[in-house]
Structure formats: structure tokens, C-alpha cells
Amino acid sequence: MPALARKAGIPTRALTPDSALEGVAEVVQRYCDGDVDAFDALEVRQPGGPFMQACWEALRTVRGGTVVSYAELAALAGRPRAVRAAGTACASNLIAPVIPCHRVVRTGGDLGNYGFGVPLKRTLLRFEGARD
């Protein structure tokens, strides 16, 4: 991780280990090195109701380099007609890109929105090989 910190301009002396985050830096490094499914190795949880949890669980099955539509996400989560609620689940995701809501696009392929900005969504999808 020190090499990545140096690239980002973060002084390595500012990095202090946190045992609760053990292994996370290595997973992030693997992702940055091109293992676009590296985040699958992390156990995650965040607050949200049953449908949001179902959406987030379904999102973790969407492999890097692929996308699903909001409608497909709603179906994967067990409620095919809850397309807007699937969008809300994406917008409520606190741990992107670990739960990869950037892999959800509009029906027809348009990128749609992303809480961290559409340019970042586009960049992540290109990095993962889902877009040219």
C-alpha cells in the first residue's frame, strides 16, 4: 500500500494500521491492478431494508466487465416491477465500488446516474472492460 499512497501523494507516515480493516488495502490494490472482482473477497454489510439488501446482494453477483439494467437488477432482487426502488438502492449504497452499483445502467444501455458522478462511472466501467 505504501507505493499506492506515494502515487496518490499521501505521505506514508500518515498511514496507520487499523486491525478492523486488515486485508482491505490488499483487496483495493488487487482491484487497482486489474482484478475487477477483487472486492468479492470482502464481507460487507450496511444499513437498509430487505429490498435494498436484496439489491446489494444481487449486485455482488454482477461480474466485472458486465452490466445489468435497473430492471434486471430489480428482477435479480426478486421484485421485477420495482425498477425505481432498485435505482434507490443503488443511490443509497454507502460502500461503492465494493457493492458495484456502477455496473447498473439504464435499459437500452445509457449510463444513467451515479452518486459519485457519471464521469467516474464511465471510468470504472472502462477500467473493468464493460465499455470502450
- Residue 19: predicted pLDDT: 77
**Which one-letter amino acid corresponds to residue 82?**
A
Read out DSSP for 95-109? STTTS-GGGEE-TTS
Q: Can you give the pTM of this predicted structure?
A: 0.83
**Which one-letter amino acid corresponds to residue 86?**
A
- Residue 95: predicted pLDDT: 95
Q: Is residue 4 very low, low, confident or very high in pLDDT (cuts 50, 70, 90)?
A: low
Whole-number CA gyration radius for the chain: 16
φ/ψ (deg, to 5) at 5: -65, -45
Rounded Cα–Cα distance for residues 37 and 47 (Å): 23
Q: Closest Cα partner for 110 from 69, 65, 79? A: 69
Read off the pLDDT of residues 80-118 as tens digits, 9 standing for 90 and up: 999 999 999 999 999 999 999 999 999 999 999 999 999
Per the model's pLDDT, the better-predicted residue between 2 and 124 turns out to be: 124
- Residue 20: predicted pLDDT: 74
Q: Kindly report whether the peptide bond that precedes residue 11 is cis, defined as omega within 30 degrees of 0.
A: no
CA atoms within 13 A on the CB side of 60: 17
Catalytic residues: 101
Per the model's pLDDT, the better-predicted residue between 5 and 17 turns out to be: 17
Q: Is residue 70 very low, low, confident or very high in pLDDT (cuts 50, 70, 90)?
A: very high
Rounded Cα–Cα distance for residues 123 and 131 (Å): 9
